[in-house]
Amino acid sequence: MPQDFIVNRADLREAGFASTAPLEAGDGEIVLAIERFALTANNISYGMAGDMLGYWNFFPAPEGKGRIPAWGIARVTQSNHPDIAVGDKFFGYVPMSDQVVMTPIDVSARGFSDGAAHRAQLPAIYQEYLAVTPANGFDGKSDDLQCILRILFVTSMHMDDHFAANDFFGASMLIIGSASSKTGYGLAFLASKRPGIKVVGLTSASNKTFVESLGIYDTVLAYDEIDQLSKEEPSVYVDMSGNVSVLTQVHSHLGDALKNSTSVGATHWDAPRDGADTLPGPTPDFFFVPTHMVEHRERDGLAGHDARIVDGSSAFYTAAKNWIDIQTHTFADMGDTYALLLKGVSPKDGHIVVTG
C-alpha cells in the first residue's frame, strides 16, 4: 500500500505514516514512484510557512494534517499520457511519500508541469518537473547533491542577484545569519566573488569551526559575538534562521548602519517570532523565491535562466561536495530521520531518504 508521511500542521513534532489506497493513473495522468528526496532545514521552513505561503496545498492531506514538500527524483511507473513513458525520471517538488499521481501539461524535452486542479492557484515554479537528463544538469553522479542543493542554490543565486541589482543597498558588508545553512553558504559562495563586498557569517558557537572551514566568509562570529559587528561599515542582513532574538540583536546593535534586512528561511523553527515588526532600523523584507524566478526568466528567457542554474550549480557542487557528508536513510525510518531534523543536525550532513 502507498505510504504518506504526514504531520500535524499545528505542531510539526507530531508526525507519522498513513496508508492510502493503491494509486491508478487516470486519463492524462501518471503515477510516479518517488525514488529519493532530500531533507534539509528548508523542509521545516515549508512547514512553518505552510499556511502563509500555501505549501500545505501542494499535496492534500486529511483535515488538520499536512504533507511537507521535499525536493527529489521520481520514476514513472504508470502513464496515460502520450508523451511520457514508463521509466522516465523527473526532478521536482514531491511529497514525503513513496508514490504520487500527477497530471502533466506543457510536456517537452525539458520536462512538464503538474496541471492538477488543486495546484492551479499555486506558484507555477513549484509545479515544474525537470527531466533527469544531462541537458538539465543531471549527470547520474550527483543526484543526491541535486536533491540536497539545487533548489537551495537557486535561492542563493536569486538572492545574490537581488542584492547586486540593488547595489547591496549602499552597503559594503553582507551579514548572513545561520551561516552554516546550505542556502546561507550558497549565498556566501556567490557574494564572496563580488568586488567590494565583505561577507560575514553569524552562527552558533558549536558550528563556528565548520563555517570558518568553508573559506568563503571574511569573518565568522558566534551569535553571542554580535556586538563585534562593525558599526562603521554600512551593512545588510540576511536572516536565514527565523530567530527573532538574533534578528533583534543585529538591528539593535547596528542601528542606522543597517541598510536592509531580508528574511528568507526558518532554520530555527521553534524560536519565538513575536516582535519582528517593531525592530529598530529597516523593516525586514521577505524574500519569496518564485516571484524573483519569474522576473529573472522574463529578463533572461527560460533557456538562459536554466543555463545560469546549471552552470552556477555545477561550480557550487564542486566546492560543496567537500563540505557535505551524505547520510542515506530508508523511507521506513522516516519518523526517526524527521525527528532528527527537527532537533537540528550537523551542518556537515546532507540527508537523503530512499524509498526503494
pLDDT digits (tens, 9 = 90+) for 232-260: 999 999 998 778 899 999 999 999 999 99
CATH number 3.40.50.300 is the correct assignment for the domain at 150-290: no
Give the mean model confidence (pLDDT) for residues 112-127: 89
Average pLDDT (185-203) is 97
Which helix (H) or strand (E) is 148 found in, with range? helix 143-165
pLDDT category, 271, cuts 50, 70, 90? very low
CA 203, 208, 211: angle at the middle one, nearest 5? 85
Query: CB neighbours (10 Å) of residue 242?
Result: 26
Check pLDDT > 50 for residue 267.
no
Give the cell for residue 65: 494534517
Mean pLDDT, the chain, integer: 91
- Is residue 90's pLDDT more than 70? yes
> What pLDDT is recorded for position 276?
55
Query: What is the residue type of 129?
Result: Y
> Greater confidence, 198 or 46?
198
State the pLDDT at residue 287: 86
Helix (H) or strand (E) holding 31: strand 30-39
Residue 78 pLDDT > 70: yes
Phi-psi region of 258 (alpha: psi -120 to 50; beta: other; left: phi over 0): beta
Residue 102 contacts residue 116 (beta carbons within 8 Å) = yes
Every domain of the chain and the residues it spans: 3-134+322-354, 150-290
CATH of the domain spanning 3-134+322-354: 3.90.180.10
Q: Would you state the pLDDT for residue 266?
A: 43
How many Cβ atoms from other residues are within 10 Å of residue 325's Cβ?
9
- C-alpha span between 57 and 8 (Å, rounded): 14
Three-state secondary structure call for residue 133: coil
- Which conformational region is residue 324 in: left (phi greater than 0), alpha (psi within -120 to 50 degrees), or beta? beta
CA atoms within 13 A on the CB side of 52: 7
For 176, 270, 280, the CA distances from 237, given in Å and listed in that order, are 6, 21, 13
| Cβ 273 vs Cβ 298: under 8 Å | no
Let me know: does 138 contact 132? Beta carbons within 8 Å.
yes
* DSSP string computed for 166-208: TGGGG-SEEEESSTTSHHHHHHHHHHTTSTT-EEEEEE-GGGH
| Separation of alpha carbons 295 and 194, rounded Å | 22
